[in-house]
Amino acid sequence: MDAFQGLMSGFQVAFSIEGILFVFIGVFVGTFIGMMPGLGPISAIAIMIPITYSMDPTVALVMMAGVYYGAIFGGSSSSILLNAPGVAGTVATAFDGYPMAQQGKAGKALAIAAIASFTGGTVSVILLMLFTPILSAVAVSFGPAEYFALMFMGLTAISSLSDGSTIKAFISATLGFIVVTIGIDSQTGTSRFTFGNPNLLEGIDFLVIALGLFALAEVSTLVLNRKDNSMSDNKEIGSLRLSKQDVKEMSGPMTRQSFLGFLIGVLPGAGATIASFIAYITEKKLAKNPEEFGKGSIKGLAAPETANNAATGGAFVPLLSLGIPGSGTTAVLLGAFLVLGVQPGPLLIQDRPEVFWGIIASMYIGNIFLLILNLPLIPYIARVLRIPRPLLISLVIIFSLIGVYAISFNTFDLYMLVAFGIIGFLMRMFSFPAAPFILAFILGGMMEQAFRQTLTISNGSLAIFLDKPIALTLIIVSLLTILVPMFTGRKKLSAKNDTGKPL
Partner 1 sequence: MKKFLATAAAFTMLIAAGCSNQSSGDGNATGENGEWKPTKPIEITAPAGPGGGWDTTARMASQVFEQEKIIDKRLPVVNKAGGGGAIGWAYIAGKKDSEHNMFVASPPLLLVPLNGQSEYGYEDFTPLANVIADYGAFVVKAEAKWNNLNDLFEDMKKDPASVSVIGTSSPGSMDHMQFVKIAKAAGVDVTKIKYISDPDAGGLTAVLNGSVDVYTTGVAETIEQVKAGKIKVLGITSEERLEGEVLSDFQTAKEQGIDETFVNWRGFFGPPGMDPAAVKYYEEKFKELSDSPAWDEIRKKYGWGELYMDSEEYSEFLKTEAEDMQNLLEELGLSR
Q: Which of 166, 186, 251, 255 binds partner 1 (CB under 8 A)?
A: 186
> Which position among 104, 252, 290, 335 is part of the footprint of partner 1 (CB under 8 A)?
335
CB of 386 to partner 1, least distance (A): 33
**Residue 46 or residue 242: which is nearer to partner 1 going by CB?**
46
DSSP class of 212: I
List the one residue from 5, 134, 141, 489 that touches partner 1 (CB under 8 A). 141
Q: Which is nearer to partner 1, 186 or 255 (CB)?
A: 186
Is residue 185 part of the contact set for partner 1 (CB under 8 A)? yes
Provide the minimum distance between the beta carbon of 384 and partner 1 in the complex, in angstroms, as a whole number: 28
Residue type, 171: I
Binding mask 436-465 for partner 1 (x = CB under 8 A): ----------x--x---x--xx-x------
Selected from 260, 264, 317, 324, the binder of partner 1 by CB under 8 A is 324
Shortest Cβ distance from residue 189 to partner 1 (Å)?
4
Q: Which residue type sits at 322?
A: L
Compare residues 269 and 290 and give the one whose CB is closer to partner 1. Answer: 269
**Which of 253, 325, 358, 436 touches partner 1 by CB under 8 A?**
325
Measure the CA–CA gap between 60 and 7, rounded to whole angstroms: 18
Instruction: Please say whether the dihedral angle defined by the alpha carbons of residues 106, 110, 115 and 120, taken in this order, is positive or negative.
Output: positive
Could you tell me the smallest distance in angstroms from the CB atom of residue 198 to partner 1?
Answer: 4
174 or 199: whose CB is closer to partner 1? Answer: 199
Distance CA 413, CA 394 (A): 19
CA 415, CA 427: separation in Å to the nearest integer? 18
Using rule CB under 8 A, residue 339 touches partner 1: yes
Closer residue to partner 1 (CB): 104 or 345: 345
Whether 356 contacts 136, CB under 8 Å: no
Contacting residues for 429 by C-beta, under 8 A, at least 6 apart: none
Q: 192 pairs with which residues across the strands? A: 183
The per-residue b/e assignment along 291-318, b for 16 or more CB within 10 angstroms, e otherwise, is ebbbebbbbbbbbbbbbbbbbbbbbbbb
Q: Are 117 and 236 in contact (CB under 8 A)?
A: no
What value, to the nearest 5°, has the Cα angle with vertex 92 and ends 286 and 83? 135
Q: Which phi and psi (to 5°) does residue 128 adopt?
A: -60, -45
- Residue closest to 108 by CA, chosen among 245, 263, 241: 241
Which range binds partner 1 by CB under 8 A, 157-165, 286-294, 298-306, 323-331? Answer: 323-331
d(CA 480, CA 491): 16
Kindly tell me which residue out of 25, 104, 143, 242 binds partner 1, with binding defined by CB under 8 A. 143
**In the complex, what is the shortest distance from the CB of residue 26 to partner 1, in angstroms, rounded to a whole number?**
16
Q: Is 144 in the site for partner 1 (CB under 8 A)?
A: yes
Taking each helix axis as running N to C, give the angle between helix 353-374 and helix 17-35, from 0 to 180 degrees, rounded to the nearest 10: 60
Compute the least distance from the CB of residue 343 to partner 1, in Å: 5
Each residue 30-69 as x (binds partner 1 by CB under 8 A) or -, in order, gives ------------xx-xxx-xxx-x----------------
For partner 1, which residue of 2, 195, 198, 245 counts as binding (CB under 8 A)? 198
Q: Return d(Cα 487, Cα 160) in angstroms, integer.
A: 16
Burial class of 496 by CB neighbour count within 10 A (0 to 12, 13 to 18, 19+) = exposed
Enumerate residues 243-272 that contact partner 1 by CB under 8 A. Answer: 268-269
Does 408 participate in binding partner 1 (rule CB under 8 A)? yes
- CB 73 within 8 Å of CB 272: no
3 state SS of 36: coil
For partner 1, which residue of 195, 380, 409, 430 counts as binding (CB under 8 A)? 409
Give me the residues that bind partner 1 (CB under 8 A), please: 42-43, 45-47, 49-51, 53, 139-145, 147, 184-189, 191, 198-199, 201-202, 268-269, 318, 322-325, 328, 331-332, 335, 338-339, 341, 343-347, 407-410, 412, 446, 449, 453, 456-457, 459
